[in-house]
Amino acid sequence: MATPADRRRAARQLPPLAEADAAAIEAFLDAVWAEHGLAAASLAAYRRDLAGLARFRPGLRGLQREDLYAFLAQRTRAGYAARSNARLLSSLRAFYADLRRRGLRADDPTALLQPPRLPRSLPRALTEAQVEALLQAADAGSIDGLRTRAMLELMYACGLRVSELVGLPATALNLRQGVLRVQGKGGRERLVPLGEEARHWLERYLAHARPALLAGLRDPARAQALFVDARGQPLTRQALWALIKRQAAAAGIDPARISPHGLRHSFATHLLNRGADLRALQLLLGHSSLSTTQIYTLIAREQLKALHARHHPRG
């Protein structure tokens, strides 16, 4: 079974697309961007999915249902997960629906394709004690440690996605008003309150750590990201994830219990446990649909059941 690293290496050696397929993909991406204002990551996923099909069977616009079946079967044999194939099918449906809207195709080859059955999985949230241990594990006496503490405090205080945190410009932060302007999926913006603790650590980071990180640059003012490395560049998602894993190890947290969005999931779960309104939580998380937010009620319910089982005399 191919590992993700194997697939990345193979992707770097892929042949170019046929000119007609490349043009069809770009026309589709232009259309969905104009209609829905999708984020760059979503457009990249569409491009990757469609390019994979075009390399498997050139001639995207004329492919039939059996071609799509064959592609999905080939991916399954290669070890792609059900969730990845479900996303692929969503991309294909959007592509062929766009062809029909523009009168370039009369039928839809995805019409009878069924998405793979996905296992139900709940986001992994840390307990309040684990979050506290994770935050305390950062060495706030060092430059890197102070930056780490400020980042983790901000992620937990505002329920940020990893991509949102690393993409924050310094101008998104308003310490005087105590709010953060976040650009989420689909380019949607939201204002999130900071909270006193996150505000305190951000003030320390901006006063001491960020200037020290930018000290070696010829023009520090050109560094736009809120959280930067020593070259004035924003941290990558991979670097932040590695940092979170190191912090979890230092805090004595099982690595299997934490995920890149672990603090975001914990933010949502802890607010619900303390009586937050679901609609308000939806706004804070930047979810377009309330059904996405409702998954956290299941986590909170499972935690309450576990608490009852542990402590009730007849649990």
**What does the pLDDT look like over 184-215, one tens digit per residue?**
887 889 999 999 999 999 999 999 999 999 99
Find out if CATH 1.10.150 is the number for domain 4-101: yes
Q: Is pLDDT above 50 for 84?
A: yes
Query: The domain 128-311 is classified under which CATH number: 3.40.30.10, 1.10.443.10, 1.10.3720.10, 3.90.1170.10?
Result: 1.10.443.10
* Closest by CA position to 192, among listed 201, 181, 200: 181
Q: Is pLDDT above 80 for 221?
A: no
Confirm whether 287 is a catalytic residue.
Answer: yes
Its pTM stands at 0.65
Confirm whether 96 is a catalytic residue.
Answer: no
Confirm whether 161 is a catalytic residue.
Answer: yes
Q: Is pLDDT above 80 for 16?
A: yes
- Find the catalytic residue in 147, 199, 210, 264: 264
pLDDT of residue 26: 95
- Find the catalytic residue in 261, 270, 308, 310: 261
Give the number of residues written for the chain. Answer: 315
For 227-238, give one letter per residue: b (16+ CB within 10 A) or e.
Answer: bbbeebebbeee
Spatial distance between the Cα atoms of 118 and 211, rounded to a whole number of angstroms = 47
Confirm whether 264 is a catalytic residue.
Answer: yes
**φ, ψ of residue 293 in degrees (nearest 5):** -70, -30
The structural domains of the chain, with segments of one domain joined by +, span 4-101, 128-311
Q: How far is CA 264 from CA 123, 135, 162, 185, 271, in A?
A: 10, 14, 9, 15, 11
- Find the catalytic residue in 147, 149, 161, 265: 161
